[in-house]
Amino acid sequence: MSRRLEELAANLDAVRARIRAACSAAGRDPAEVRLIAVTKTRPASDVRSLRELGVTDFGENRDAEAAAKAAACADLDLTWHFVGQLQTRKCRGVAGYADVIHSVDRLRLVRALGAAARRAGREPRCLVQVNLDPPVPGAAGPEPGPAHRGGVRPGAALELAAELDREPGLALAGVMAVAPLPGHGPGTDPAAAFAVLARTAARIRAGNPAATVISAGMSGDLEAAIGAGATHVRIGTALLGDRGPLVM
């Protein structure tokens, strides 16, 4: 075993142990929680190593990097998750390789992704990204504050999900969220935020029984996410190591 493979194997064991412990604490079956390895900034060789170790789901947040890695690993039969903020002009590219798109947060994106998917002859599963940041005091309208990292407000998620569901070429599969940045006052507790996500997911699922995915939880908060019902956790640093301070 190469040294990197050993390191990844040890990290994977530790992450799987955390997932099992969180499931046990929540009275859930670990088989209900899928692990997505977020390999952004990491080479395709890491993807191959993790595949050797049994990981089948990979997440990326930048189109150019994701496209290159998916192409380099095309022989592996992987499931690719696009988890980054998405611009309409990138939709054509992303629809070409992504199996699941986690960051659908506006109508224009629904339309552009639908057109791109139909043209590519593919039907990606799509998640409505929900913004869980506390509303900025004094900010007018539904637009989130300056730390905006994507997502619709929980109150607007149902309507966007309905549009997604109606869009030919796209399959509505559920919701995704990133926990609020910590330490920004009340409303930034991850467990409370993930509970809001779970309620939003349940409302969407009531009208769309196939929308079962709750994508939540990263290296720092996977326990809170699993406690709130996450079906998919997106793990970068805990599996692959630090990306360094400048890369998000």
Ligand X SMILES: *Cc1c(COP(=O)(O)O)cnc(C)c1O
- Give the x-and-dash track for 39-78 against ligand X (CB under 6 A): -x--------------------x-----------------
Complex with ligand X: residue 180 or 236, whichever CB lies closer = 236
How far apart, in whole angstroms, are the C-alpha atoms of residue 7 and residue 80? 23
**178 interacts with ligand X by CB under 6 A:** yes
Residues 6+ apart with CB under 8 A from 46: 4, 8, 39, 240
**38 interacts with ligand X by CB under 6 A:** yes
From the list 104, 211, 218, 226, which residue makes contact with ligand X (rule: CB under 6 A)?
Answer: 218
Cβ-contact 117, 93 below 8 angstroms: no
Complex with ligand X: residue 86 or 218, whichever CB lies closer = 218
**83 interacts with ligand X by CB under 6 A:** yes
**234 interacts with ligand X by CB under 6 A:** yes
**235 interacts with ligand X by CB under 6 A:** yes
Closest distance of CB 176 from ligand X, Å: 8
CA distances for 31 relative to 8, 35, 59, 81, angstroms: 21, 10, 19, 19
Structure tokens belonging to residue 165: 């569901």
Complex with ligand X: residue 22 or 169, whichever CB lies closer = 22
Closest CA to 4 of 41, 46, 38: 46
**126 interacts with ligand X by CB under 6 A:** no
**181 interacts with ligand X by CB under 6 A:** no
Closest distance of CB 164 from ligand X, Å: 18
Closest distance of CB 68 from ligand X, Å: 17
Which region among 1-9, 22-30, 196-204, 233-241 touches ligand X (by CB under 6 A)? 233-241
Structure tokens belonging to residue 168: 């030919």
Q: Provide the b/e sequence for 144-173 (b: ≥16 CB within 10 Å).
A: beeeebbbbbbebbbebbebbbebebbebb
**233 interacts with ligand X by CB under 6 A:** no
Helix then strand then coil, in percent of the chain rounded to 5, is: 45, 15, 40
Half-sphere CA count of 196, side-chain side, radius 13 A = 22
Which secondary structure element, helix H or strand E, spans residue 174, and what is its range?
A: strand 171-176
The CB-nearest residue to ligand X is 236
DSSP code at position 212? -
Catalog residues that contact ligand X under the rule CB under 6 A.
38, 40, 61, 83-84, 178, 218-220, 234-238
